[in-house]
Amino acid sequence: MTVTRPDEPPSTIVKYYPLKELIVARAKEFFREPEAIFWVYVFPVLLMFGLGVAFRGGEVEVHVDVVAGSEADTAARSLKSVDGFRVEVVAIEEARARYAAGKVDIIVEPSRGGYRYLYDASRTGAEAAKIRVNDVLQAAAGREDRISSTSDLITEPGSRYIDWLIPGLMGMNIMGGGLWGLGFVTVDLRVRKLLKRYVATPMRRSDFLLALMSSRLFFLVPEMVLIIAVGHYAFGLEVQGNLVAVAALILVGAICFAGIGLLVACRAEKIETVSGLMNLVMLPMWLLSGIFFSSERFPESMQPFVQALPLTQLNNGLRGLILEGSSLTEQWMPLLLLSGYGVLAFFLALTWFKWK
Amino acid sequence: MIDLAIRCKNLTKVYPGGVSAVSGLDLEVRTGECFGLLGPNGAGKTTTIEVLEGILKPTSGQVEILGHTWGNGDRAIRERIGISLQETRLSEKLTVRETLKLFRSFYPTGISPEEGIELISLSEKTNARVGKLSGGQRQRLAVACALVGNPALLFLDEPTTGLDPQSRRKIWDLLRRFRSEGHTVLLTTHYMDEAERLCDRVAVVDHGKVIALGSPNELIASLGGEHMIEFSVANGSSSSSAPIPESELRSLPGVSAVRVDGVEITLTASEPHLVLPRLLERLGGNSGELTRLSIRHTSLEDVFVELTGRHLRDGDTS
């Protein structure tokens, strides 16, 4: 066996750096996992395109079902004579079925010389559809506007849905990456007894945790650059604030969610356990923290809770910097809260962490 | 005074829930020897070795590894020991070379990843991912991970369980070479042939205690004979009564022990050439038809059976 001993120095001395090797190993594992690449890099871009196209600006066509009957043709003709409506005349049962399936926005039923509108006011855009249908039908029946009005639709970059969505997607990815990249990966290592095997070597535990952390931050760079770049070149997103400030907030957010990921994983010994815990942590934030729709929509009584969620803070901060062009000092609240959660999560995770 | 690599006194380990895995185990492993912990599944071998490796905390007892105790000087111990756990799933996405390089980086001194690959004769798999290796190749890689830090003491928990004969032999060769350089090995196994071939000394462990200690030859000799004569007789009419009374078998020349297990009878004998003619002559009479007769060397398995009345592979069912 050719073994080099301390007293017989080998001809070429190779120095090994455990922290570097741990980061390199983690990076190789990550980039050799096609699923991870999909969820981290491809999925957010697909989501951006999907939602960007579905909620593109401009006038939205209203789908109307007119219930068949004596006045149905008059109503249908009036609606068809103006732009922006797609009209079908159908039986009431069919109209209700189509409404339930989400194929139409409103049902118009002629009744006693007038019209009855059937719609669910809580559906997005339902009120607007009703108002537009009603305006056309009233005008056709002879109503005249007392004052003249014109509409100019705002479609310039900066205030469209897609502009609002992109910082939310960034926040969502920072959260998911932290929880998967530290939480799931740590438990996977524990299940495979690899964590136990590492601890049986002279490896420094701090090197291990630092490597997980820094590799996660390293994966985040292309992720964020990709979202902003696609947002800019495909959808015309303009970052109003300072890019360095955006990067700083992303870093603080990523460290916070890495800490939460580690906390979730600190004692879990089964993949099922950590998956459950991750969903428990992420689900409320997916719903409440303003990724796809504003968290202001939730009732006043829920706001203290909603605003206390780390992802709400991160999304608020990112929107402030990217959309409103505010400075980092103006975003002191997200920075403070995210740092606080991060420190607390790391402290608890390291206190409770189960290595063996 | 003999130089000890491992000293362990009155070790106990009670798991939460009250299961006692190790109950008062003493062990002294000398520097430069290959020492085997032999016992059935559930005997407490893995718990013992993991306490010695500093992975588990003992409930009570003293453990000294290479002159240090766990809790002070852990790093000094870790840098000088190599470990292969019973079950480790190394990262499937990394190659053989990358895996060894990672483990090598944890140690201040050691061999190069390439030398490690050569040791386990996996050169043609240097750049293959761990996920593509066979079970035997993975186990060899796990042993190489234990060797890259150039350890003075190697712990191996069931290094060849479930492996094909070729992989077993490669691991045995590796351990013989390691030991021939004056290093110490502690391994657990439930294969008695492995213990007989590799180990200078063996501790037979059962119910968390050492029930016999010595070189494989000493333990086998302690049975009083080096040969086992096994035979069975189909007993015509009355199958319940033994064909030959036990006392008569015991009085055969050189027979030191008799074990009757149903129709199977086992004699421990030092000189089978004297026993056999007498036995066959006696069976030639009216005691029934001889259906089986075999003579083999006494093994550690027989030692275990003699000590516990059970077979090694029976598990912990008595």
Q: How big is the A-B interface in CB pairs under 8 Å?
A: 89
**Which pLDDT score is estimated for B144?**
95
Quick one: pLDDT band at residue A19, thresholds 50, 70, 90? very high
Report the residue of chain A nearest B181, measured CA to CA.
A1
Mean pLDDT, residues A292-320 taken together: 94
pLDDT higher than threshold 80 for residue A58: no
Set of chain B residues whose Cβ sits within 8 Å of the Cβ of A200: 53-55, 78, 83, 85
User: Which of A128-132, A201-205, B21-25 has the weakest average pLDDT?
Assistant: A128-132
Q: Domain residue spans in chain A? A: 19-54+160-352, 62-140
**Which pLDDT score is estimated for B47?**
94
Backbone phi, psi, residue B252, to 5°: -65, 150
Matching residue, tokens 């798991």: B15
**Which pLDDT score is estimated for B318?**
36
Architecture of domain A62-140: 3-Layer(aba) Sandwich (3.40)
Report the residue of chain A nearest B96, measured CA to CA.
A25
Task: Write down the mean pLDDT value for chain B.
Answer: 88
Q: How far apart are CA B260 and CA B266, in angstroms?
A: 6
Set of chain B residues whose Cβ sits within 8 Å of the Cβ of A22: 102, 105
Contact B280, B300 (CB under 8 A): no
Quick one: pLDDT band at residue A300, thresholds 50, 70, 90? very high
Residue-wise DSSP of B56-90? S--SEEEEEETTBBTTBSHHHHHTTEEEE-SS---
Contact A226, A41 (CB under 8 A): yes
Is the minimum CB–CB distance between A285 and chain B shorter than 8 Å? no
**Which pLDDT score is estimated for B241?**
56
Matching residue, tokens 């690959």: B117
Contact B91 A194 (CB under 8 A): yes
- Residue B273 has which token pair? 């050439």
Compare CB distances from A5 to B54, B89, B150 and report the shortest one's residue. Answer: B150
How close A343 comes to chain B (CA, Å)? Answer: 28
- What angle is formed at CA A328 by the lines to CA A322 and CA A329, rounded to 5 degrees? 140
Set of chain A residues whose Cβ sits within 8 Å of the Cβ of B109: 4-6
Report the residue of chain A nearest B109, measured CA to CA.
A6
Closest to A184 (Cα-Cα) out of A280, A287, A272: A272
**Which pLDDT score is estimated for B308?**
80
Is the minimum CB–CB distance between A197 and chain B shorter than 8 Å? yes
Set of chain A residues whose Cβ sits within 8 Å of the Cβ of B106: 18, 198, 201-203
Q: How far is CA B279 from the centre of its chain?
A: 34
Radius of gyration of chain A (CA): 28
**Which pLDDT score is estimated for B22?**
93
Task: Write down the mean pLDDT value for chain A.
Answer: 89
Quick one: pLDDT band at residue A4, thresholds 50, 70, 90? very low
Query: Tell me: the pLDDT tens digits for B112-160?
Result: 999 999 999 999 999 999 999 998 899 999 999 999 999 999 999 999 9
**Which pLDDT score is estimated for A62?**
87
Report the residue of chain A nearest B110, measured CA to CA.
A4
Compare CB distances from A200 to B83, B90, B94 and report the shortest one's residue. Answer: B83
The CA dihedral of B127, B131, B132, B137, to the nearest 10 degrees, is 80
Is the minimum CB–CB distance between A203 and chain B shorter than 8 Å? yes
pLDDT higher than threshold 60 for residue A2: no
Q: How far is CA A313 from the centre of its chain?
A: 13
Residues 6+ apart with CB under 8 A from A38: none
Compare CB distances from A197 to B56, B88, B129 and report the shortest one's residue. Answer: B88
Mean pLDDT, residues B212-240 taken together: 79
Contact B78 A20 (CB under 8 A): no
Task: Classify B126 as helix, strand or coil.
Answer: coil
pTM of the complete model: 0.82
Mean pLDDT, residues B56-68 taken together: 94
Contact B94 A29 (CB under 8 A): yes
pLDDT higher than threshold 60 for residue B317: no
Is the minimum CB–CB distance between A6 and chain B shorter than 8 Å? yes
Query: Tell me: the pLDDT tens digits for A103-128?
Result: 898 999 988 778 899 998 888 778 88
Matching residue, tokens 């000493």: B218
Mean pLDDT, residues A49-75 taken together: 82
Is the minimum CB–CB distance between A9 and chain B shorter than 8 Å? no
Choose, out of A201, A204, A210, A355, the residue to mutate when testing the contact with B (most B CBs < 10 Å): A201
Contact A175, A258 (CB under 8 A): no
- What angle is formed at CA A18 by the lines to CA B57 and CA A342, rounded to 5 degrees? 75
**Which pLDDT score is estimated for B33?**
94
- Residue A283 has which token pair? 């689900």
Report the residue of chain B nearest A23, measured CA to CA.
B102
Set of chain B residues whose Cβ sits within 8 Å of the Cβ of A25: 91, 94, 98, 102
Report the residue of chain A nearest B146, measured CA to CA.
A201
First-last CA distance in chain A: 32
Closest to B179 (Cα-Cα) out of B8, B36, B1: B36
Report the residue of chain B nearest A10, measured CA to CA.
B111
ipTM: 0.84
**Which pLDDT score is estimated for B262?**
77
Compare CB distances from B105 to A1, A18, A32 and report the shortest one's residue. Answer: A18
Set of chain B residues whose Cβ sits within 8 Å of the Cβ of A10: 112
